Amino acid sequence: MAVWRLWRLWILCGVALLAIEDGSGLIIGGCEQGSVDVVEESDPSFSCDALRTRLQWTVYNDKMETIFSGVCFRLRCSFWNKFYLPVDLKYFANEYGRSTLTMKGITRNSARTLSCNDSLTYARCDLRIIAKPVYRDCSVSISNWMVTGSCTVTGMYSSDNNYTCKWREDKKEEFGGFQTSLTSYINNSRTYTKGVCSFAKPMPLTRGNYTYSVSVSPGADDYFNKQIYIDKPYGVQINHNCPEYVFEGSDVSCTCYASRTVSPPALLVWEGRNNATLLLINVNRRLDQQQFTCRLEWTPDGSTKQNTSYILKVAYGPLDAVITTSEMKTEYETETITLTCTATDVYPSAVFQWNVTCYNRTDYRDSSTCSFNFTEKIKSLAILCKASNTYYHQANVSRVYILSSLGRPQANTGRPNAGLIGGIIAAVLLVLIVVAVLIVFIIKRRKDPVYDTTRKPDENEHSYEGLPLSRPKLLPTAVFRAGAGDETATSPDSDEHHYEEMTMTGQNAPQHTDSIYVLRCRRLFPAMTSSHN
């Protein structure tokens, strides 16, 4: 009998020990890690299993004051609710004796700690009441060979006032965080926190896709995801759209670019300008042949580099055009004319247009030679040569060369309209000047005193007053003979002077023939007749 009692006591102790060992692993379902985030105004539910038929739940506030207590025994549950916490407590009879506790509409001030225990075991769960964050303006991009990400997070709340954020690359390493101070604000009488979660790190150098995600605590992980593609520019060439020639005085705006798109885009800059656009204002010929270099850079360390050059060529002119006659050949009634039109101060070269058909023409960098036929039937011909800049035809000058019959040059004028008009004006002015000179000469002749002082000498009368004593030898004698309109002049002997009177036949003979005699004598003997003045 004593042995049986001893055996029974040993069995009871073994069962108790097993119960204690098994009960030492009491776990609250829904809070397996001993703590859990509970979203404000949600309905969290927890469970507790035990071998005992009696199970007790207890809820504490942030000051560890009991605000709820409930006991479940033999399928019946009773509770004590100091703050009228909306709790649904149930008990289910199963192999372990399971009880569930549901808190409805939990708030940041309603509960902080939860415990479950039976007569031998105890389990605890810390509740962190949270408000889920709101993500705004999230982005990930590459700039200056750095990958940067940013997210503005608002509406955060955590009962333990602990806030963290982190970024991941392909869900591996973690980086980033709240780079600025968090701030609090009130919405609907509740306090919330906001901040900016960001990161910046060197971009990957291996080609491929990379996914970046952000998570905030309290809140859900990996809320935002962004994928970027890295493509190293193997075999990329640099080009530019700069013009070969730029006319002097104009502006230049051109860009260098990569032959294909890469990700991230390669850095393209003109040396000394830090920009992919080359801008030159009012280009001067002093910049001719100046070299500009565009540089491509890729990767943070600048190990990938390529260059391309652009040599600026400044075009200008022509300033003027000149036509010269280089050759004239006459054959029968046709004359072959060869003219050369030369453009001055022109670069890189000039192009020429003639208004005649050249049967032989040779063009050079700044001149053109044209040969053509010119016949007597053509009284005059205006030859027009127009010289233009090779690359900028709007820059041009013209010259007109006028030929008369048999190819005699008449004028070599400037631009066609101005030359013709100028030639006409010059001819008119010349005619007017000649007419004016003739008029003045006639007026002076009429006012000459010889018409008033001359007289017809008497027969055999010769007056030599004022005649110098020494006369020049071989003094000529003018003999004027009248009759039948004849007038002859002979040379008499050295000392003989004859002055035959010229008579006019007819009824209307002039009455002042003496003036004519004296005038002609004056022409023959100016010294003798000087006394009459």
The model's pLDDT over 344-369, given as tens digits with 9 standing for 90+, comes to: 999 999 999 999 999 999 999 999 99
- Residue 42: is it exposed, middle or buried by C-beta count within 10 angstroms (0-12/13-18/19+)? middle
Judge contact between 102 and 87, C-beta under 8 A: yes
Handedness of CA 109, 153, 217, 101 (dihedral sign): positive
Nearby residues of 56 by Cβ (< 8 Å), 6 or more positions away: 69, 70, 71, 72, 116, 117, 118
Mean pLDDT for 456-477 is 40
**Nearest residue to 242 (alpha-carbon basis) of 282, 285, 276, 284:** 276
Query: Per the structure block, which two tokens stand in for 319?
Result: 């300033």
**What is the rounded CA–CA span in Å between residue 50 and residue 55?**
7
Token digits of residue 109:
């001030």
Distances (CA, A) of 459 to 462, 485, 490, 503: 8, 22, 21, 13
Question: Which H or E run includes 465?
Answer: none
Mean pLDDT, all residues of the chain: 75
CB of 79 closer than 8 Å to CB of 68: yes
* Token code pair at residue 150: 């940013």
385 vs 78, residue with greater confidence: 385
Q: What whole-number distance in Å separates Cα of residue 499 and Cα of residue 286?
A: 85
372 neighbors 384 (Cβ within 8 angstroms):
no
pLDDT tens for 382-406 read 999 999 999 999 999 999 998 876 4
pLDDT of 53 reads 66
Residue 22, pLDDT score: 42
Which residues are 76's β-sheet partners? 73
Question: Is the model's pTM score more than 0.85?
Answer: no
Burial grade of 123 (CB within 10 A; 0-12, 13-18, 19 or more)? buried
Q: Considering only 67-71, 328-332, 384-388, 431-435, which range has the smallest mean pLDDT?
A: 328-332
Report whether pLDDT(248) > 70.
yes
C-alpha to C-alpha distances, 125 to 26, 218, 429, 476, nearest whole angstrom:
12, 17, 121, 160
Confidence of residue 329 (pLDDT cuts 50, 70, 90): low
Give me the mean pLDDT over the 215-223 stretch: 78
Q: How far is CA 300 from CA 236, 266, 366, 388, 418, in A?
A: 17, 11, 53, 51, 66
Return the sign of the alpha-carbon dihedral for residues 160, 162, 163, 169. Answer: negative
CA angle 68, 73, 77 (to 5 degrees): 45
